[in-house]
Chains A and B, each alone.
Chain A
Amino acid sequence: MRDALRELLRNRELLYMITWREIRIRYKQSVMGLLWAILMPIIITSAGVVVRLAASHLSGKPITAADIGAIGVKALPWAFFVSALRFGTSSLTANSSLVTKIKFPRLIFPISSVLTSLFDMAIALPVILIILPFAGARLSPELLWAPVLLLIMVIFTAGLCILFSAANLFFRDIKYLVEVVLTFAIFFTPVLYDVSLAGKWRNLLLLNPIAPLLEGLNSSVGLGAPADLRWITYSAAVAIFLFWFGVVFFRRLEPRFAESV
């Protein structure tokens, strides 16, 4: 594990270049350019608004600006998670010519997918920052939670990407499995709704390690309230374990990459 991190640090220029390449290619020949980064969160937010409208129609409670702000705050990291995992899973197979021809730490590929998606999120961030004050968000010390929660999110996502990228090299159907799960995961994850909606089943939803992070982001950024420390600790523990396990698993299989790709 420590070796892996040291190796990554030594190859940071390479990590930078591979990430730079991904970003450059993604934005180079597309009509929408940087708008792509904003499109996903906007679509997710719109879907959330529709869901909320339907819910408010049923319950008779009017929809508030804060509700929409909450969806926006959650949509952004969710879009990051989905895109990172999608690109990350196929990152090794997509770079097969490099994997089979040149020697360098292959951990760079899934990690650069995470960094690329992180860049997308950074592009979309100002949009959210403009919307938030209108949604009733106020500056408060609780905002300091946001970077911590995002960091846990990134570690969790990176762990999954590392795990799946290696697995997908040996079993090409992993990619489809991930696709299917990602398509429906939005129903199990409180992106478009809040966990409070589930009433006494709330804790069941929070077992999804992303749920406490999204809820925490919503309460700290949107509502100016502290995040639920116990659940956040749970998410952080899962994220760190997954990252550790992913790296160990990846390094274990790495010697066989070139002949299996």
Chain B
Amino acid sequence: MSHVDDYAFRMEHVFKRFRRGDQHDSLRDLIPSLVKRAVRKDRERVLAPEEFWVLNDISFDVKKGETLGIIGHNGAGKSTMLKHLSGIMTPTRGSIEVKGRLSALIEVGAGFHPDLTGRENVFLNGVILGMTRAEVKRKFDEIVDFAGLEEFIDTPVKRYSSGMFARLGFSVAAHLEPDILVIDEVLSVGDFAFQRKGIEKMRAIANSGATVIFVSHNLQAVADFCHRGILLERGRIIEDGPVDRVIRRYLDTAASHAAQRESGPVRIVNTRIAGVRGETGMFGAGTKARVKIGLEASAAVEKVAVVIDLLDSAFHEVFNTSSERLGHAPLSLTDGQRAECEFELDLHLGAGTYYLGVYLHRYDTQREYDHVFPATSFVVTSSQDTRGAANLYPVLTHFESKGTAPGNIVQDRKSAGVGL
């Protein structure tokens, strides 16, 4: 840990203790818990059997202007980390120092009230996020313009679609001009075009000299956006360094995690990709492969849709589709029921390594039930030397000189060549 003084953010030996299971939340339960608390000593360091460290001795500095990505598997402590970064939670032990104005884009539109109009919510949300009213007023047109909601700005936001809601929320937050910006998955709101705009905006904020801390499981965005990465596992930092090294470490540990992650009402049990002739792991460009995904519900669950997401070795999205987009109705499962989903793909891909992520979500609310990334990875080989993720099967049909050129042009070229 380098202890230079130009840091913008610093965590030193941060510990956070959590308790499994229910907390008492009625007066009736207070008395027994108070007795227990009085009997126990040294609350700071000791763990009761039902307690565990969500953050376990976390120390790191973020330099001014640095872009840091924090990644980790589900349950590694990312969201708790996020809450400590933004100051919503205080650590059980350890210290957190922030230099400058810190804004956290944790959930866009938190604080929006459905009965108020877009305009009213922009002011409300802007002030909640730390702007003054004068500041909001000055940036108002820009905010509305960025969200693309001029016509609806005087409509109550309860009539907005979820996309419009998210766009407006993001837009307010994106105009904060902080010294330190903490972001989580908010960049994944709205449609594709808006996501692009959002990322551009974030990049502009980063380029303006702001320090950015990005907590995400979207490796592509982290790889794109950050120079440095931190990998969390069970509340500890297990890797801290250049972002691609950290992501590689993440991918190495991914397989062991797929089996033991926390499960929602339905989880992805296994993902296999195999060619039509049974080959696995390595495929020829242009061959057909089937992705077989096994699901299992641990409670009754409704409207499950399956999304597959293919990334190339630089974690850029190559391809993404879902059961709903392919016109298949979502599944509802009962407790303990299993399901299987199969996509057949034509691997029109360039040579290289590809990672496949699988997501389960409720298709109307887009609530995520489970995700595994990478669920599997494979290598595509090609007999042709092409580059890039797509394979357009080039055939060189023509490459020859044609007839004889008019003399004076040849002459010109010659003289130009001489001149040079």
Chain A residues near B (Cβ < 8 Å): 13-14, 17-18, 20-21, 24-25, 28-29, 97-98, 100-104, 170-174, 177, 255, 258-260
Q: Can you pick out 21 interface pairs between chain A and chain B where the beta carbons lie within 8 Å of each other?
A: A13-B127, A13-B132, A13-B133, A14-B127, A17-B127, A21-B120, A28-B115, A28-B116, A97-B107, A97-B110, A98-B128, A102-B88, A102-B106, A102-B110, A102-B111, A102-B128, A102-B129, A171-B25, A173-B28, A258-B83, A259-B18
The answer for the CA separation of A170 and B18 in the assembled complex, in Å, is 16
Question: Chain A residues with Cβ under 8 A from B107's Cβ?
Answer: 97, 101
Interchain CB contact under 8 A, A103 and B86 = yes
The answer for the CA separation of A211 and B111 in the assembled complex, in Å, is 38
B30 within 8 A of partner (CB): yes
Per-position 1/0 for B12-42, Cβ under 8 A of A: 0000001000010111101000000000000
B104 within 8 A of partner (CB): yes
Chain B residues near A (Cβ < 8 Å): 18, 23, 25-28, 30, 83, 86-90, 104, 106-107, 110-111, 113, 115-116, 120, 123-124, 127-130, 132-133
Question: Chain A residues with Cβ under 8 A from B124's Cβ?
Answer: 17, 20-21
- Name the residue of chain A whose CB is nearest to the CB of B83: A258
**B17–chain A nearest beta-carbon distance, Å:** 10
**B327–chain A nearest beta-carbon distance, Å:** 35
The answer for the CA separation of A118 and B379 in the assembled complex, in Å, is 69
Question: Chain A residues with Cβ under 8 A from B120's Cβ?
Answer: 21, 24
**A91–chain B nearest beta-carbon distance, Å:** 14
Known contacts A13-B127, A102-B129, A172-B26, A21 near B104 by CB under 8 Å: no
The answer for the CA separation of A13 and B126 in the assembled complex, in Å, is 11
Question: Chain A residues with Cβ under 8 A from B104's Cβ?
Answer: 102-103
Question: Chain B residues with Cβ under 8 A from A104's Cβ?
Answer: 128, 130
Question: Chain A residues with Cβ under 8 A from B130's Cβ?
Answer: 104
The answer for the CA separation of A237 and B207 in the assembled complex, in Å, is 56
Interchain CB contact under 8 A, A17 and B115 = no
**B21–chain A nearest beta-carbon distance, Å:** 14
Residue among B111, B115, B116 with most chain A CB within 10 A: B111
Interchain CB contact under 8 A, B23 and A21 = no
Majority DSSP secondary structure for residues of B touching A: loop
Interchain CB contact under 8 A, B127 and A25 = no
* Beyond A17-B128, A21-B113, A171-B27, 18 additional pairs, beta carbon < 8 A: A13-B127, A17-B123, A20-B124, A21-B116, A21-B120, A25-B115, A28-B115, A28-B116, A100-B83, A100-B88, A102-B86, A102-B88, A172-B25, A173-B26, A255-B89, A258-B83, A258-B88, A260-B25
Question: Chain A residues with Cβ under 8 A from B129's Cβ?
Answer: 102
Interchain CB contact under 8 A, B28 and A98 = no
- Name the residue of chain B whose CB is nearest to the CB of A29: B115
Interchain CB contact under 8 A, A98 and B110 = yes
Question: Chain A residues with Cβ under 8 A from B115's Cβ?
Answer: 25, 28-29
**7 tightest CB-CB pairs across the interface, nearest first?**
A255-B90, A103-B87, A101-B110, A17-B127, A258-B88, A171-B27, A173-B26
Interchain CB contact under 8 A, A174 and B106 = no
Question: Chain B residues with Cβ under 8 A from A13's Cβ?
Answer: 127, 132-133
**A97–chain B nearest beta-carbon distance, Å:** 5
Residue among A13, A174, A177 with most chain B CB within 10 A: A13
Question: Chain B residues with Cβ under 8 A from A260's Cβ?
Answer: 23, 25
**A99–chain B nearest beta-carbon distance, Å:** 8
The answer for the CA separation of A93 and B110 in the assembled complex, in Å, is 14
Contact of B128 among A14, A172, A173 (CB under 8 A): A14
Question: Chain A residues with Cβ under 8 A from B26's Cβ?
Answer: 171-173
**A217–chain B nearest beta-carbon distance, Å:** 34
